[in-house]
Amino acid sequence: MLPTSHLHHIYRPDFGMLTDLYQLTMAAGYYDQRIHERKAIFHLFYRKAPFGGNFALAAGLALAIDIVQGLKFSADDVQYLGRLKGANGTPLFKEPFLNYLQRMKFTGTIHAVPEGEIVLPHEPLLRIEANLIEAQLLETALLTVMNFSTLITTKAARIKAAAGEDTVLEFGLRRAQGIDGGLTASRSAYIGGCDATSNVWAGRYYNIPVKGTHAHSWVMVFPREIDAFEAYAASMPNNCTFLVDTYDTEEGVRNAVRVGKQLRERGHEMLGIRLDSGDLAELSILARQILDEGGFPQAKIVASDSLDEYAITELKARGAKIDVWGIGTRLATAHDQPALGGVYKLAAIQNERGEWEPRIKRSETPIKTSNPGKLNVRIFHFMERGAATAHGRVIYNEFDGKDMVSATTENGNEHPLHHHDAMRETDLLELVFKNGEMVFALPTLQSTRDRAMKNWQRWNQGQEGSNFNTQLESRLYDLKMKLLAE
């Protein structure tokens, strides 16, 4: 079994340059001001749940770990940065700073939400505690992998939920936003519940099952459709799902039945047919009838063509006889919301005496106001007969300690947290790096997928209660109000 991520095997080993220029100019400024070794705390979180939902499935941690371990600058990187010029034509970066970069590696501590866990708006997916330069230079790359992974995993879970017990295949590589957009999309879609991918690269590196048949071009190469089906059956007798809509779909299904019978005579079995255009509901009903009457009731009907959770729901409502859903563009690109909008905000910094001082980002838009401190999320599981029947979630400041007595909503209303024997408490964030060393055991991709699907199903069915708004622990709320008033 291959590890769940190893970007350094796919790309270059050093990821320091995977950043925006302004991260480097700020880092150089910290160095010049001699504050670069001060510890700071940043949180990575999103503000609004995607796709009109209430929550998201966290994903991308395995990729983020690779990014952190690869926070390095090669000699070539430093030489490139040394050639950059400022407005007056002089070097943008000074030599002592460049020398610092070439020696740098991550030495901080990171807590994170494990992949496959439910995460709500404003809850930290990552908490980075490191010196200013290290924490600053991680921002862009961490947002890159966490935003997209979480977005696609959440989209895949929505699609899988709509498909129910049907098989869902991810077919998005050719429409993805670049090479890594395709690779990360395939990984994330699998975590979210897709059963296989067409992406062979993802299959190779992430051990995801791969599936695929043939395209219209195969049919068009041959004089007749049935010639194409027969040739494919001769070449791939154990992988025969025939694409039947190149010319006339009804005749295509009948040709598939004819070739399926030839396959059966040779000891093989036709797997099914694929519909890629037209009225998929009506055509699948017709195809099911032809397949059943032809002696192939077990043959699967695969459908593709701009599908997503909305189209699947509509087709099922119309009685479509589709067994397998091939999802491409609208999954791999998160077509209806192509960005999560996650952010990375400073929440605390040490002063010259080594004392922690909270920081807050103020905004005229309330949703953009950040939370100060060293944040974690306490989850209160209310148990009944050994199973969680509901729960509450509270963001708290670890600088205030672990004990909590009340929580406060955005409008200032206070709610006591009643502790009793039938309640179990857990924290959402887990330790991943300690003093620069990875201490987290990465699960397999399959176990991450199982975790994600279990969590999504439980939340979608309402077993975790209806309160989707994370509250602030009262002392954190008071601190936030105090900072906003100053």
pLDDT at 56 over 50: yes
> Over the stretch 84-129, which tens digit does the pLDDT of each residue have?
999 999 999 999 999 999 999 999 999 999 999 999 999 999 999 9
Query: What pLDDT is stored for residue 153 in this prediction?
Result: 98
pLDDT for residue 163: 97
Question: How much is the average pLDDT of 455-481?
Answer: 79
Q: Give the amino acid at 153.
A: T
Is residue 405 over pLDDT 80?
no
Of 181-195, 197-211, 410-424, the range with the lowest mean pLDDT is 410-424
pLDDT at 404: 78
402 band by pLDDT with thresholds 50, 70 and 90: confident
**Band of residue 10 on the pLDDT scale cut at 50, 70, 90:** confident
Over range 237-244, report the average pLDDT: 97
Average pLDDT, the chain: 92
pLDDT for res 460: 80
More confident residue, 486 or 238: 238
Which has the higher per-residue pLDDT, 173 or 419?
173
Strands of the sheet with 241-243, listed across from one edge:
196-197, 167-170, 324-327, 300-303, 272-275, 241-243
Residue ranges of the domains in the chain?
7-153+338-485
Which CATH superfamily includes the segment(s) 7-153+338-485?
nicotinate phosphoribosyltransferase (3.20.140.10)
* Closest by CA position to 125, among listed 103, 101, 105, 145: 145
In percent, the amount of the chain with pLDDT more than 90 equals 85
Position 6 scores a pLDDT of 65
| Residue 90 C-alpha from the chain's centroid | 42
Q: Indicate if the pLDDT at residue 381 is higher than 80.
A: no
Burial (CB count within 10 angstroms: exposed 0-12, middle 13-18, buried 19+), residue 433: buried
Q: 274 near 242, Cβ under 8 Å?
A: yes
Tell me the mean pLDDT in the region 214-237.
98
* 3-class secondary-structure state, position 450: helix
What's residue 28's pLDDT?
98
With a cut of 90, say whether residue 81 has pLDDT above it.
yes
Percent of the chain with pLDDT over 70: 91
Q: Which residues contact 221 (CB under 8 A, 6 or more apart)?
A: 228
Distance from C-alpha of 471 to C-alpha of 468, rounded to nearest angstrom: 9
In which residue are the tokens 């970007």 written? 7
pLDDT in tens, 11-34: 777 899 999 999 999 999 999 999
